[in-house]
Amino acid sequence: MTLVSVLIPTFRRPDSFLRAARSVFAQAGAPDMELIAVDNSPEGSALAAFARLETESPIPFRWAHAPRPGVSQARNAALSLARGKLVAWLDDDEEASPGWLAALLATRNITGAQSVFGPVVARAPAGVQHAHLFERLYARNGPLESGLTKNAYGIGNSLQPRMMFEGATPFDVRADQSGGEDDLLFASWREAGASFAWAADALVTEHLGAERTRLSHGLKRAFAYGQGPSETAWASRKYAALARHMCIGAGQAAVYGIASGVALAGSPAHALALLDRATRGAGKVFWFWEQRFYGAALAAQPN
């Protein structure tokens, strides 16, 4: 049996997908593995890239076209093709470091955790205004040392046993447009007693495209990130936790919002950092206001 299936869903980023896939091929000390790709764009924008990759892949490579746009649709389709005992997830705008997969596996072997996560360093294109804001927004930081953690992080740059994904649609298709499908799944695993770990050396770089380095988009993302804890509490029927998140969020929105206005005169960069935190706080309060980043909303944008 194949030990690891590396899964890369993609949507209208064929060149970025090829970079991600080739970083998988370059893994040092990699075990028996395969690469699985799913093109989730209606028009099949990555199919030519898939055909090209078939001729150069040094490992088994399988792919599918899942034309109905939706982040859960893409993830579920990728899982249906996987044959590995374990699955590792890489986003189509991420580039894995050479020791990425080995670090995830080593942490899993040492800790025995069911799900292992690694750090993400975000890189904005040269010359982008407010690059520091976007690089901080999309980065994923964790403990300095590898080991068990109470936290679950995003599905990109993570590793789990394939058998943990039960049923035909382990990722909730109701999250197709908004995202957060991974948060919901990890919350259910936590309730069931699953353990999580952090692999400090399993580094990936996330390359930010132009569409993700607009200030309006960045603040919308910050708002959605803030919504996450409240949405999870609501889905788990933890109403006291929801009320706590909303109260904390209201305080953050007020305090950081005022501080951002004060800081604007002296340091626009500091003001934006405070505005980011205020926006996340507002997301905790208005957790029910759905933000759409994927699926039909994304497909409707100009290609």
The predicted-structure confidence for 35-63, as pLDDT tens digits, reads as follows 999 999 999 999 999 999 999 999 999 99
Domain of residue 129 covers 4-212
Under 8 Å between Cβ of 245 and 220: no
Asked if residue 27 and residue 155 are part of one domain, the reply reads yes
Q: Is residue 159 part of a domain?
A: yes
Same domain as 112, residue 253 = no
Percent share of the chain, pLDDT over 90: 71
Which backbone phi and psi does 82 adopt, to 5 degrees?
-70, 145
Q: What is the count of structural domains for the chain?
A: 2
Tens digits of residue pLDDT in 147-169:
999 999 999 999 999 999 988 89
pLDDT confidence of residue 101: 97
- The answer to whether the predicted template modeling score (pTM) of the entire model surpasses 0.75 is yes
Distant-in-sequence, close-in-space partners of 188: CB < 8 Å, separation ≥ 6: none
pLDDT confidence tier of residue 301, bands split at 50, 70 and 90: low
Torsion of CA 68, 73, 76, 82, to 10 degrees: 40
What pLDDT was estimated at residue 214?
Answer: 87
Secondary structure E strands in the chain:
4-10, 33-39, 61-65, 86-89, 94-96, 115-117, 120-123, 147-149, 158-161, 196-198, 204-207
Let me know if residue 73 belongs to a domain: yes
What is the per-residue pLDDT for 262?
85
